[in-house]
Structure formats: C-alpha cells, structure tokens
Amino acid sequence: MHVFELGFVAAVLLAATPILYAALAGAISAQVGVFNIALEGQMLWGAFAAVAGSYYTGSAWGGVLTALVSTALFSVVLAVGAARWHADPIIIAIGTNLLAIGLTGFLLRVLFDTSGSFSPRGLEGLPKMAFLADVPVIGPIFAGQTALVPLAFVLIVAVGLWLKRSAGGLRLRGVGEHPDAAAALGVNVASYQTWVTIAGGALCGIAGAQLALGNVTVFTENMTAGRGWIAVAAVMLVAGRPLWLPVACLGFGAAEALGFRLQGIGAPQQLTDAAPYAITLLVLVATRIRFAKRASLTST
C-alpha cells in the first residue's frame, strides 16, 4: 500500500478540516486576548446541532446553518462572561465543555431516544464535489470532499490577510496586544472580544458540522474526541499567526490519517490514537526551546 499518494492527501485534508475551523476560532480569540479552550465543547455541540438540524430540516445545509447559529449562541456564555464580566475564561470553558458533553448526551436521549450514536435512515450528509472527478490531481483530492474543505483554507487566508492589512484587523490585534492603549484610542475592547468570541463559536459550529455531516454522517457521543484540544495546541504552536494554521493543522491531519493507515496494516489503535497528542506536545516543546533560548539571552 502506498502511503503517500493522492488518496492520502485527501485523507489528510479530511482529518485536518474540522481542526482547522476550530483552530481559526481559537486564533482569532487569542488575537483579542481571550484564551479560548472551549473549542472542544463547542465543536461537539456543533456536531450535534448539525445532525439534529439536518434531520429536522431534511437538508444538510440546514444542518450547517443550525450548527453555525446555535454554536454561536452557545458561545455567548463564554463571550459575555469573559469579555464583559471579566470572569475566568478557563473556568467558563471547562464548564461549557462539560455542559456540551452532558447536553448532547441528554438531548440524544430526550429527542431521539437513543444513546451512543445517532444516524437515522435518510440523514442528509453534506454533498461531495463529485463534479471535480475528471480534473487531474484536484479530482482525486477534492471529488470526495465537501465544499467546506476548500472553504476552510479560503477563510484562513482571508482572515489572516484581514487581520494583517485592514484597519479593523489592526484594531482587533491592538485589543489583544494592548487593551488599555486600544481603549484609550476609543476602541471598545469588550465589544471586540465579545463579537470575536461569538464568531469563533460560529466557526466551531462549522467544524462540528464538517465532522458530523462531512467526514461521516452520524453523531456519536463525544465524537470530537480531543480534536478541540489539538486545535488549542495548534493555536499555541503558531503563536496567534492564523496564516500558519494550515501548516500546523495539516500536520495533525497527517498524524491522524497516517494512524488510520497504520491501523490498516495492523498497528494497535490505542497507540495511533495517542500519536497526535504526543507529536503535538513534542512540536510545542521543540518550538518553545527556541523561544526559551531567545528569552534567556534578552532577560537578565
């Protein structure tokens, strides 16, 4: 079996995309100075909302919209609590992560009378871009993917450029880097933080929708399985520079996809499951060693 082929590239993209949306959410929150570790719970909620929305509306895009709106609402607690009420974002996030696990499991029982997983007959998954099938190179990579996959990259580049080049982006970065100075210049810090965190919630909703309706067509309890945490680590890794996110997330996607391949040839699932976390930590340490050296040179 060839590991490095176009099919593998497709698998990497598939694994990386949900993480990419969540990491973009984390990165813009980091830019305005909110440490957002609620990504895992928000993504899980998004996955559930997407499946429920698709089930009730009968349309996968209805599911995406449901996920986007309801996860944005779900993130209001974090946004308002952290930005306006100056509560500890870490504690709110721990609470909302637990809440997401509990609520999705609870609603699964109450609304659909099942536990574990939910994939009713006729649940609409997101359409694949099959029309690309005949295009060389692009075809084998993207024909089996949803439109949300390339959109993730477009969004990241757009947001990255907007942050770097536009006046709004500049103000937004100012809010995170020096809130007092931004406030003195008349920027409403709390308002920026609130809306950016809510926008992050919407992005996590899309991440969940892609996971539950794009990668597969099912909701499983706790199906995010740590992807939100990998996204938090990715945000730390790129130190808030969104344009580097694709590199980090594709790395994790590759670790996950490689894990699946290795399982296919008999490697134990437990060890390939652990690999993305171990690799993430090692890469974090490796990049931080450089920072640490530089810091020890400059500080006395």
Partner 1 sequence: MTAPPETTPGASGAPGSSRGPATPAAGDAKAPSRGRRLATAALRHPAVVPIGAVVLALLIGAVIILAAGLDPITAYTAVIQNSLDPGQLDYTFSVWAFICGMALAAAIPLRMGEFNLGGNGQLVLGGLTATVIASSLPLPSIVLIPLAVIGAAVVAGAFGAISAPLATRFGIPIIISTLLLSPVAVAVVSYLVRFPLGEAGSAVAQTTRLPEGARMWALGDLSYSNAGLIIIVLLMVVFWVVDSRTAVGFELRVVGANRRFGAYGGVRVGRLALGAMAAAGAAAGVVGAVIVMSSPFRLIDGALISPGYTFAGLAAALLAGGRPALIPVTAILFTVLQVGGAGMERSADVPRQLSDVLQGVVIVVLALRTVLDQRRTERSSA
* Beta carbon of residue 89, minimum distance to partner 1 (angstroms, whole number): 8
Taking CB under 8 A as the binding criterion, the range among 60-68, 170-178, 207-215, 273-281 that sits at the site for partner 1 is 273-281
Q: What x-and-dash track marks residues 110-149 binding partner 1 by CB under 8 A?
A: x----x----------------------------------
User: Do residues 213 and 51 make contact, with C-beta atoms less than 8 angstroms apart?
Assistant: yes
* Region of 11-19, 64-72, 163-171, 287-295 interacting with partner 1 (CB under 8 A): 287-295
Q: How far is the CB of 295 from partner 1 (least distance, A)?
A: 8
Can you tell me which of 4, 88, 161, 247 binds partner 1, judged by CB under 8 A? 88
Q: Does 106 bind partner 1 (CB under 8 A)?
A: yes
d(CA 153, CA 167): 22
Q: Name which of 282, 274, 242 is nearest 258 in CA terms.
A: 274
User: What's the half-sphere exposure (Cβ side, CA atoms, 13 Å) at 166?
Assistant: 9
Asked whether position 56 contacts partner 1 by CB under 8 A, the answer is no
Asked if 291 interacts with partner 1 (CB under 8 A), we say yes
Q: Smaller CB distance to partner 1: residue 135 or 292?
A: 292
Which residue in 6, 69, 73, 87 binds partner 1 (CB under 8 A)?
87
The alpha-helical segments, DSSP class H, found in the chain are 6-31, 39-57, 60-74, 76-79, 89-112, 138-142, 148-165, 167-177, 179-184, 189-209, 227-237, 245-264, 269-298
- Name the residue type at position 289: I
- Cα(204)–Cα(51) distance, integer angstroms: 14
The yes or no reply on residue 268 touching partner 1 (CB under 8 A) is: yes
- How many whole angstroms separate alpha carbon 80 and alpha carbon 100? 18
Nearer to partner 1, 152 or 223 (CB): 223
Please identify, among the stretches 100-108, 125-133, 174-182, 185-193, the one whose residues bind partner 1 according to the rule CB under 8 A. 100-108
Dist CA 14 CA 21 (whole Å): 12
Interaction pattern, residues 212-241, with partner 1; x per rule: CB under 8 A: --------------x--x--xx--x-----
Separation CA 256–CA 275 (nearest Å): 8
Both structure tokens of 21: 């949306």
Tokens of 290: 């450089």
Answer yes or no whether residue 167 interacts with partner 1 by CB under 8 A. Answer: no
In the complex with partner 1, the residue whose CB is nearer, 142 or 252, is: 252
Q: Which of 3, 76, 98, 181 binds partner 1 (CB under 8 A)?
A: 98
Nearer Cβ to partner 1 (227/261):
227
DSSP states of 267-292 as a string? --HHHHHHHHHHHHHHHHHHHHHHHH
Compute how many other C-beta atoms are within 10 angstroms of the C-beta atom of residue 163: 20
Which residues lie near partner 1 (CB under 8 A)? Answer: 37, 77, 81, 85-88, 90-92, 94-103, 105-106, 109-110, 115, 226, 229, 232-233, 236, 268, 270-271, 273-274, 277-278, 280-281, 284-285, 288-289, 291-292
